[in-house]
Structure formats: C-alpha cells, structure tokens
Structure 1
Amino acid sequence: MWMVAEHKRMANYELLRIVAMIMVVILHFLSRSDNLINLDLPLNGVRILGTLLETFCLVAVNTYVLLSGYLGIRSSFKVSRAVGLLCQIWFYTFFIFFICSAMGITTAASTRGIYGLTEYLFPIETEHYWFATSYFMLYLLTPVLGLAVKNMTKKQMQITLGGLLILFSVIKSISPVAFAFDRYGYDLPWFICVYLTAAYLGRFGFPLMEKRGWLFYAGSCLGGFIINLSMWFLSQKWDSFRYYFTVPFHYNFILCLSGAVGLLYGFSQIRIKEGTLAEIIRRLGSLSFGVYLFHEHIDLRYLWYDSIKAVINPQGKGGILYFLRELIFCVLLLFTAGIVIDWIRSRIFALVGKIFYNTKPGRRLKEMDLCLRPNLRADGSMEDLYEK
C-alpha cells in the first residue's frame, strides 16, 4: 500500500527543492557568463570547470518535475492552487515590469510595443517563462494523470512508461542526428514523461537505486561530461559530431533523467530532525520558485549578469578564482533576492486571500476544491488512493 503523505512537507525533499533551484541559478550563470566548452573556442580550465558544473546541475529541471510527481501525485488537485500559481506568475511579470519602467530600464513593452505587452498579460501562452508554461500545463493535467496512475497495474505502467521513455528519450539519446519531433525536453510531453516516472517510483519503487542514489547521480553526470568532452575533440576533426556534442545537455537525454532520479533517491536517505532547521527548510522550499520567476523575467534575464559583474569584476579579469567569485556572488545575491521578494509576495497573497475567500468567487473556488478532494473515511481521515 502506498501510504498517504503527511500534510506537513518532508524537509529532506524541500531541501532538494532548494538545491535544485540553486542549480538552476548556476546553469543560468554559466550560460550568461559564457563559461562553457564551445566548439569554436579552445579549451581552458574555466570552461572545463564550468561544463563539469553544468553536468552536475543540469538535472535540476527534471528533479523539480520529479518532486512534483513523486509527492504531488499523492495529493488532490486544487483549482485554487492552479489559480494561485497563475497569479504568482502574473505578480512577477507585472511587478518587475513596473520596477524596470520606473528605473528607466528597457522593457519588452518599450521595445516591442503591444507585442511585448502580451508577454506580461499572457505569460503562459507566450512562454514568458518556458518552464512555468510547461509546469502550469502539467499541473492542469494532474487529475487525469492521477486517475491513470491510480487505476493502472504495475505491468501496465511499465509498458506505458517504457514506451514513452523510448520515444522521448532513449532513441534521441543515441541518435547522431536531430529529429524534428525532438524539443530537447523543453516542453510539456517530456514533463509528462518525467511526472509519470516519478509516480511510478513513488508507487512501486526502484530497488536498484534506492540505496545507490548518490552513485547513480554522480555516475550519470560524469558520463554526460565525458561524452560532451569526447564530442568536442571529435568535432575538431569531423563536423558530423557537432550535433551530438550538445545532446548530453538536453533535458530528455537518458543520463540527465537517471541523474535526477539518483539525486531524488539520494535525498530520500537524508533525515532532518524536526525543529527550527526543518521549518526553515520548508519555508525556503515553498518560496524557491520565486527565485526562478525573479531572475528569469524577460526584462532581467539578460541584464543581471552584466550588472553584477560590473560591480565585482569591473575589469573583466579571467581565471578560475574570478570565475568562482562571480559564481558564488551571483548565486547568493539572486537566490536571496528571489526568496525575499517571494516572501513579500506570499504575505500580500495571504492578506488578499483572506478577503477574497469571503467573496462569492472565493466561496465558489473553495466549493470546486471540495468537489475534487478524495473521499473521506468514516473517521475523517483521507483514504489511501494508491495500491500496489
């Protein structure tokens, strides 16, 4: 029997959520600072180190979706949660736009007029944030996915999931050419695959990885790095290897998925004692999505690195020490600022929510949530939804 998760969030998985978001910031730093191995540039220590860091952080996106499936599949879908997520995205699109406009910073609206304005009004439809778009659409599908997971046998899930992974991951991972069908994992179909993978793991487990999570994580990441580095050398002689040079850094690359699963199981073995530390981790985990919405805003994503570098490395000096200095400073600043802003946002939403839920639309929203809740037992506790 798959036990129902406790209402209180598990601190070890919230810690993983925090780590995954820090990894996302590192990935964006490496991209913006151009500190990755490039086929058209010679190798150097900074680029090799940057690429090695990227391979260990690339699992972050899959990890975030795995957490949603591994934990979220045990809870009921809420319309209010979907509305809250959309409002959170809107908060950032407009809040940062107004701040940038007030400070005289160029915005999408000021450069592209009505077309730029639509990216604030319709952030999901325009993919203002590509991850938020796929993540939001995935959440809307969770009632359907949850019913599928609930009613399928282990064998049925293995066949279905195996077919999806072969189609979306295995074949592209060994193909020397790009497919028109392939979106490199930057889309909803791949998120569904990852979500169902997590649901399978949560329901049936994966004994091979349960005690070897850290080993699978490290092995998968190092494997991706070795493949990427090997393709760099081969591409210097044969152009036909240039495409596969990029494959280890696609989210639907098989080693990127196995690395994320390994990381999930690694953190599942961590035990955090209940108390102040656990509560702080839970709070930071609940605010971590705001870090992404802050630094990847369309008006900031190509601005923050140059602005920070101008302060801590104005002469643009190179070398590993300067690279690490920039990396640490950017990660600390962006993560801290994102957490603070989202804490303020959460306080505003809590205040508005108290007023809103006493209105007619608010009461209607609560009624819809109740309609979608699992049945209750006679003792008032939630029934177990999933059985092996």
Structure 2
Amino acid sequence: MSGGDKISKKRNANFELLRIVAMLMILTLHYNSHADVLLHLGVPAGRVQLFATILEGFCITGLNVYVFLSGYFLSKSRIKPSKIIQLICQVYFYTILISVAMMIVGVYVVHTDDSVFKTVQYLFPISSEHYWFVTAYIIMYVFAPIMNAAVDVLTKKQLKYTILGLLIWFCFIKSVVPVMFVTDHFGYDYGWFLCLYLIAAYVRKYDVVLFYNAKRSALVFVFSCLMIGIMSVVIYYYNLRFGGLNYYAEVPIHLNFVFTLTGSLGLFSLFRFYKMREGWFADVVRFIAPLTFGVYLLHMHIEIKDRWVIWLTHLLGEVPTESIILYLWHLIRSVLIVFAAGVFVDWIRKMIFDYVGRVLHDTWLFRKLRKWDDDLC
C-alpha cells in the first residue's frame, strides 16, 4: 500500500480503527494511574507494578497518535469555524450536563473551599483547562488555518528545517538532559500539539513513507515502547539503590520524549500500511471512531476522573496487585466498560446535536454560521 492513498469522502477504516486503539491506550494510561499500580520511586515493586510500567511505555504513544491523526487530516481540510464552535459546545455538554446529572443522582461532591474555581472550570472549561487535552487540542484547531497556509507556502526544505528546529526545542534536548526546563511542559500543551500537526502535515503533503513497510513500522513501535518501559524500570532501580534522577525517572513517559515520538510514528505508519477489508466490521469502526472524543470527555470530567476506577471496583472487585493475569483481566474489563459507556453517551449527545441542527437549520443564527464558513474557508 502506498503511503499516499487518496482519502475518499468515506472515512478510512484503518485510520478510524487506529483512533479507537489510541483512545483505548489513553484509557489504559488513566486506569494504571488511578489504580495506583505503577512504580513509585523508593518503594519496593512487585511484578504487577513492573508489568504495568512496561505497558505504560506502549500506551503513552496513544495521545500523540490521536493528535497526529487530526493533523494528518486537518492539514488538507477546510477549517470551518462552525466545527470549532461544535467542539466547544461538545465540551460544554459534558462539563455542565454531566455535573447536573451527578447532582440528580446524588454523587456530586460539593467542595465549599474551592467552589468559585470549580464554577470557573465549568463556565470556562477551555481557559481553565478543565481538560488539558481539550484546551491544547482546540488551540491547535484554531491555529490549523495558519499552519495550513504556512505548509502551502513554505518549500519542502523550509518546512523540514522548521520541524527539525521545533523537535530540537521540544523533544531532543529534554530527552537527554536530566534537568527540568521551565519551558518544558512534558508535551502536555498546545506547543507540542502544533509540532505534531506540522509533522503530520509534512508526511501527508510530501507522501513520506515512514519506515518503508508495515513490518519495519511495527518493529519501530515495539522497540521504542520497550525502550520507554526498560528505561523507566532501570532508572527506578538506580534510584532505589543510589538515589537521584527523581525528575528524569518520569521523562521516558513524557509525550515529547524521543522514543514516545518514534513509537507514535511507528504505530501510525503500521496502520497506514494496513488495509482493512470493507464489510460490517469496517462500518462499525467508522461509526464508533468519531465518538471516541466523547469517551475522553466523559471519563476525564473533573467529577469523574478520580473516581471511575473506584466505582468499577464495586462491580469488578479490587484491582489485583499480586497476579499479572488477574490485573490484566481487571484492566481489560474496566477499559472496555468505560469505553462502551463513553461511546453510548456520545452517541446520545450526537443525536441531540443532530436534532438541534435540523430544527435550527433555517434560523438566522445557523444561516449566519454557514455564511461564516463560506466566507472564511
């Protein structure tokens, strides 16, 4: 398969499947964090902690892949203002209505000492980073028309060296220096998202075939992820015996760590070579994939993100910490339950939005939005 296959109006099932896989990886990251099964510096570790840390090395690439996919498609798309407004409305749907629903069922937690800040997080979810990922993602989306114009104007060499300069700044230096830089936000901000966007735009514009074929792409992904996990374990044991490297122990699982980047590119390249056969499974993938953003918005709501693992322990039992097999069984069921719940809720949200869109289609506001799209795109 050529890396430059034409993107038809019908969504590419292979990339949509990758979007689903990326969100499952993100859920796994959050499960491990909130289940407290990862290594802690200075604390003796068991087999589950070591295994979960290796697994973390594979799943950390999911966040970059999710952003990379957006950049790959948006870099050749018309960025409609109405789409940005729809994204913001989707965020408000979750930040406000989920809280109201939790109040109704009696599980909402009232914190009188920080009620003002919490109110701000609901009313201004983007500016207050109710979801850090959404804040960075929407800023990237707003910058997309500017970056697309730059990609169109710059020569191949200019764009290549621009990306190289950004990687030196955001990725390469911090990956080897064991000291935290004030300007480094570990990839959890829009600066790194803009860098990923430009890489994706470059790959698409110049039909860059990453790692030559599917087999090499898979090897790059596996090698990179193993390096992340092995480095995390080695630094943990070094710290346990000699102390030090407290900051650098977390660097291998930063989004802008060099092996996180190469692992993400390897995974993207693998699915780019993969060709899914058309049929019912491809149709299901195309149906589910656009709803995965809602999965994130649901389980990372500030009233839910620290509690969903606890809620699931009432259903599935405590998180096993002695057996790797039992831990994996608990993780798989937990992740699939949350994923299914998120897809279902976002499907409901989509039907509501579609209904509102049909009812208000001919109103002054919606006509104005369509004219705005036409004027700016």
In 2 relative to 1, CA 109–169 (structure 1 residues): closer, same or farther, beyond 3 Å? same
1:188 is matched by which residue type in structure 2? Y
1:81 maps to a residue whose letter is K
User: For structure 1, which runs of at least 5 residues remain unmatched after alignment?
Assistant: 374-388
> Which of residues 212, 215, 220 is equivalent to 2:224?
220
**Partner residue of 1:320?**
324
Bigger mean CA deviation after superposition, 270-279 or 123-132: 270-279
Partner of 2:294: 290
Residue in structure 1 matched with residue 271 of structure 2 by the alignment: 267
Contact 1:168 1:252 in 2 (8 A): yes
Structure 2 counterpart of 1:331, one-letter code: V
Tell me the distance in 2 between the aligned counterparts of 1:306 and 1:324.
17
TM-fit CA distance, 1:355: 2.0
Describe the shift of the 1:352–1:110 C-alpha distance in structure 2 as closer, same or farther (beyond 3 A): farther
CA shift in 2, pair 1:314/1:165, >3 Å: closer
Give the SS at the match of 2:92: helix
Determine the C-alpha separation between the residues in 2 that align with 1:258 and 1:210: 14
From 172, 177, 180, give the equivalent of 2:179: 177
Residues 213 and 266 of structure 1 are in contact (CA less than 8 Å); yes or no, is this contact kept in structure 2? yes
For each residue in 1:134-182, what CA deviation from the matched residue of structure 2 results, as whole angstroms up to 9, or x when unmatched? Answer: 0011101100000011111110011100000000100000001111111
Q: Residue 135 and residue 209 in structure 1: after superposition, are their counterparts in 2 closer, same or farther (change >3 A)?
A: same
Corresponding position of 1:341: 345
1:82-101 mapped onto 2 (5 Å cutoff): 82-101=84-103
The answer on whether the counterparts of 1:108 and 1:116 sit within 8 Å (CA) in structure 2 is: no
Matches of 1:80 and 1:109 in 2, distance apart? 35
Partner of 2:69: 67
Q: Distance in 1 between matches of 2:110 and 2:133?
A: 19
Post-superposition Cα deviations, 1:22-62, rounded to whole Å, max 9, x if no partner, equal 00100000000111122122121101110111110000110
> What secondary structure is seen at the aligned counterpart in 2 of 1:240?
coil
How far 1:329 moved relative to its partner?
1.7
Match of 2:135 among 133, 136, 147: 133
Deviation at 1:314, TM superposition (A): 4.9
Give unmatched runs, 5+ long, in structure 2: none
- What's the C-alpha RMSD, in Å, of the aligned pairs? 1.8
SS of 2:185 mapped into structure 1 = coil
Aligned residues: 373
- Separation in 2, partners of 1:317, 1:186: 29
TM-score (ref. length: structure 2): 0.95
Deviations 1:58-80 (A, max 9, x none): 00110011001111211110111
**What's the offset of the Cα at 1:349?**
0.3
Measure how far apart 1:322 and its partner are: 3.0
Identity of aligned residues (%): 38
Deviations 1:220-260 (A, max 9, x none): 10111111111112112333322211110000001101110
Shift of the 317–214 alpha-carbon distance from structure 1 to 2, 3 Å rule, reads closer
Q: Is residue 2:263 matched to residue 1:255?
A: no
Alignment equivalent of 1:369, drawn from 358, 368, 373: 373
The CA distance in 1 between the partners of 2:319 and 2:353, in whole Å, is 42
Query: What pairs with 1:1-388 in structure 2 (closer than 5 Å)?
Result: 5-107=7-109, 112-207=114-209, 209-211=211-213, 212-314=216-318, 318-373=322-377
Moved more, 43-52 or 340-349: 43-52
For the 8 Å contact 1:313–1:322, the answer to whether it is kept is no
Once residues 27 and 343 of structure 2 are traced to their aligned partners in structure 1, the CA distance between those partners, rounded to angstroms, is 13
3-state secondary structure, aligned to 1:364? helix
8 Å CA contact 1:124, 1:132 repeated in 2? yes
Letter aligned with residue 177 of structure 1: V
Distance 1:110 1:337, change over 3 A: farther
**AA in 2 matched with 1:112:** D
Aligned counterparts of 2:112 and 2:342: Cα–Cα separation in 1: 24
- Distance of 2:346 and 2:281 partners within structure 1: 20
Partner-residue secondary structure (3-state), 1:256: helix
Shift of 1:112: 2.7
